[in-house]
Chains A and B, each alone.
Chain A
């Protein structure tokens, strides 16, 4: 249980284009999903928190018009990097926190975040 998928796993794009990354919770409903960015040999950096049906909450310094987040359902959140530039190249990881109504998942408390496999973005 507690499987989170991300698509695509990696993407290479030209500068100025937009890239959409999907995050899905496959076997549970997620009221809250998180988007992180991680640069090589650095810690996870939270970009934004998204709740189903409402606007995402962005961390300080993260441009909401550049990183568009849509949490359309209890199992899907998308991150769109608009007008990507080389400095946006990074490892983007989503995580999901299960809804209270979901069947219990063995091995973790209610507030455990389960991570997707990540998306490696390279902007040329």
Chain B
């Protein structure tokens, strides 16, 4: 079956660094997406990885290891506005997104 696993909730301190992990099992693989979703709002696109390695985009970076079925989202210099849910989604061979349940990130002052 297809499955995306990510922690339910994480807590971090403002100004710190946090890594949100995601493991995936999909039928075929056409990439791994990370989205940010603030409470009551729709998701917004953060990153896409299809090759192994680290993609850096400002304070956010995303890593992929296809052999391990593993990805992480790294957030640096955390700000209060980063408090949100972070959704990991794998794209299968039919180009369908398989969504994780999301990781709720709580930032404390």
Q: Which residues of A contact B (CB under 8 A)?
A: 2, 42-44, 46, 49, 91, 93, 107-109, 111-118, 120
Contacts and interface: CB of A to CB of B under 8 A. Distances in A.
Interface of B: 30-31, 33, 35, 40-45, 48, 50, 57, 87, 91, 95-97, 99-102
Given A109-B50, A111-B30, A111-B31, A43 B99 contact: yes
B47 to A, nearest CB: 9
B33 A112 contact: yes
Given A112-B33, A117-B41, A44 B48 contact: no
Nearest to A109: B48
Contact of B45 (A46, A49, A93, A108): A108
Nearest to A2: B45
A114 B41 contact: no
A29 B34 CA distance: 23
A118 B42 contact: yes
Contacts of A91: 40
B102 A43 contact: yes
A95 B48 CA distance: 16
Contacts of B97: 46, 113
A67 to B, nearest CB: 18
